[in-house]
Structure 1
């Protein structure tokens, strides 16, 4: 089932390359902060489509309309994610404060223990926040449903904590691997051109600069948006496993 989720999401994310470019353009202006909420709002629409769909269905990519509603949804998404991340942050802060009062091996050991506990808490918090967004989307966007902890826990219990965590960690691995592979291939291609140019006596610096530019553009306009849709779709489909 988990592999089916990945397969569906990988195919779904490539349905419309124009959508990826639009997201990339929005991402280009993310330094203004406000466009970030449009990106998270669109990803929420992807989640909403997934929680009301089925694996290997014929769900279309969401449209870029009702921009104000998309922006508001994006703000809600960011708030939910921040709230859930407060817990692991506080755990790390507490351990850091206590370790600061100690010295030597005791301080180092406490920080290692605190780091491990924080990591576990972070994974759980991230999973809970993603399931919270799915739960909110499934309940017609009711913001309070994102913090219905007992209901969200029941959803994860029914799917299985092991399956949820493995799926979530798998998403992280796939995201990293795809990013590295794509940028690595492009980098190798331009490196080969640069080396060939150097052998022929040409200055390869221009080729390397062009390669770096093209690599960053592909990452921004294609790879980044593709992976964000892939992750949103996968989490949404994971939620449907308990319905």
Structure 2
């Protein structure tokens, strides 16, 4: 079933290259901060389509209509993400603060223990966060549903903690593999051209620069948006397994 989710999400994310470019353009201006909420708002729509759909259901990609609503949805998503990450981060900061008052081996032991506790808390928070976001979206965007911990735990129990963790690990691996492979291929091609030119006595410094620019452009306008949709679709479909 998890492989079916990945297969669906990989195909779903590649439906329309124009959508990827639009998201890439929005990401280009993310330094202004506000566009970030449009990107997370689009992810919100992708998840919404997934939690209300089925695996291999041939759902279309969401449109970019009603940007104000998309912006508001994006803000909701970011608020939930920050809220969930506060606890593990706070745990680690408290441990660091306490350990700074100690000396010798006890400080190191406390830091290690605190890091492990924060890591475990972070993993649990991440699991709850992803399903919590889906639960909120499935319930018409009710923010309180993102923090309905008993309901979220029941959903994870139904899906299976192992399957949830396996899905998240798979997402990390697939994301890293796709990013690395695309970047490596582009880098290899332009490096080969560059060295070939050098062997012929041609100044190819421009080739290396062009390769770097193309690599960055492909990552921003295609790979990044593609993986963003892929991850959102996968999480949404995972949530739908309990329905």
TM-score by length of 1: 0.97
Which residue matches 2:42?
42
- Residue 108 of structure 1, CA deviation: 1.6
C-alpha distance in 2 between matches for 1:221 and 1:124: 32
Which residue matches 2:64?
64
Which residue matches 1:87?
87
C-alpha distance in 2 between matches for 1:106 and 1:182: 46
C-alpha distance in 1 between matches for 2:222 and 2:66: 23
- Residue 149 of structure 1, CA deviation: 1.2
Q: 3-state SS of the aligned residue for 2:54?
A: coil
- Residue 112 of structure 1, CA deviation: 1.8
- Residue 84 of structure 1, CA deviation: 0.2
Q: Equivalent residues in 2 for 1:222-237 (5 A)?
A: 222-237=222-237
Q: Using the TM superposition, name which of 27-36 and 200-209 deviates more.
A: 200-209
C-alpha distance in 2 between matches for 1:155 and 1:98: 37
- Residue 205 of structure 1, CA deviation: 1.4
1:172-199 Cα shifts (integer Å, max 9, x gaps): 1211111111101100111101100110
Q: Equivalent residues in 2 for 1:77-226 (5 A)?
A: 77-226=77-226
C-alpha distance in 2 between matches for 1:41 and 1:183: 27
C-alpha distance in 1 between matches for 2:180 and 2:103: 40
Q: Using the TM superposition, name which of 214-223 and 151-160 deviates more.
A: 151-160
For these two proteins, the number of residue pairs brought into alignment is 243
- What's the Cα RMSD here? 0.9
C-alpha distance in 2 between matches for 1:80 and 1:192: 46
C-alpha distance in 1 between matches for 2:114 and 2:178: 31
C-alpha distance in 1 between matches for 2:229 and 2:99: 40
The runs of 4+ residues in structure 1 deviating greater than 4 Å are none
Which residue matches 1:5?
5
TM-score by length of 2: 0.97
1:9-49 Cα shifts (integer Å, max 9, x gaps): 00100011110000000000000000000000000000000
Gaps of 5+ in 1: none
Q: 3-state SS of the aligned residue for 1:58?
A: coil
